[in-house]
Amino acid sequence: MLDLRLYMAQRLTALIMVPLTFGHIAVMIYAIEGGLSAAEILSRTKGSLAWALFYGTFVVAVSIHGAIGLRVIMFETFDLKGRPLSIFSWAVFLSLLYLGARAVYAVTTT
């Protein structure tokens, strides 16, 4: 079910996300103080290429990582296999990628 290729994709995306997640947790702890608002989020991220790259990379990595993770669970727990399993994995990957890209675009575009 998991071959070397998928395994490596899972581990590499995990490694990429380690520093990104620590950064994200730090930003969250910092940002939540005094409450959140749309304007406050935008003032931090709008027009910033750095934030776009940071969260853009995050979205790509998490889409791959989440899709492979759910693929394993669908196979092991719900007995989904073969073509339906591949379709499911790709659908999760593409939906996460689409929604994530839209979110990054919304908060970083000027």
Partner 1 sequence: MSAAGEKTKLKNINVSVWRGDSAGGTFQNYAVPAQESQTILDVVAWIQQNQDPTLSYRYACRVGMCGSCAMMVNGQPRWTCRTHVQKVIKKNKLVIAPLRNLPVIKDLATNMDEFFDKWVRAEGVFHPTRTRDDEIEKINPETSKRARANAAIECINCAVCYASCDVVSSNKDYLGPAALNRAWSLVNDVRDGALDQRLDAVSKSGGCHNCHSQHGCVKFCPNELNPTAAIAGLKLETAKTMFRRRR
Partner 2 sequence: MNRHRTHTLWIAFILHRFSGVALVLFLPLHFYLLSMVLTDPETVDQLLHWTKHPLVKVAEFGLVFLLSVHIFGGLRLMALEFLPWASWQKTMAAFSVAVSFLISCTFYLSAV
Cβ-based nearer residue to partner 1, 6 or 107: 6
When binding is defined by CB under 8 A, the residue of 47, 90, 91, 102 that contacts partner 2 is 102
Q: Shortest CA distance to 1 belongs to which of 91, 88, 96, 68?
A: 68
When binding is defined by CB under 8 A, the residue of 4, 32, 49, 50 that contacts partner 2 is 32
CB of 18 to partner 1, least distance (A): 17
Per-residue CA distances from 93 to 23, 26, 31, 43, 89 (Å): 23, 26, 28, 30, 6
CB of 1 to partner 1, least distance (A): 5
When binding is defined by CB under 8 A, the residue of 26, 76, 86, 94 that contacts partner 1 is 76
Q: Which two tokens stand for residue 63?
A: 């889409």
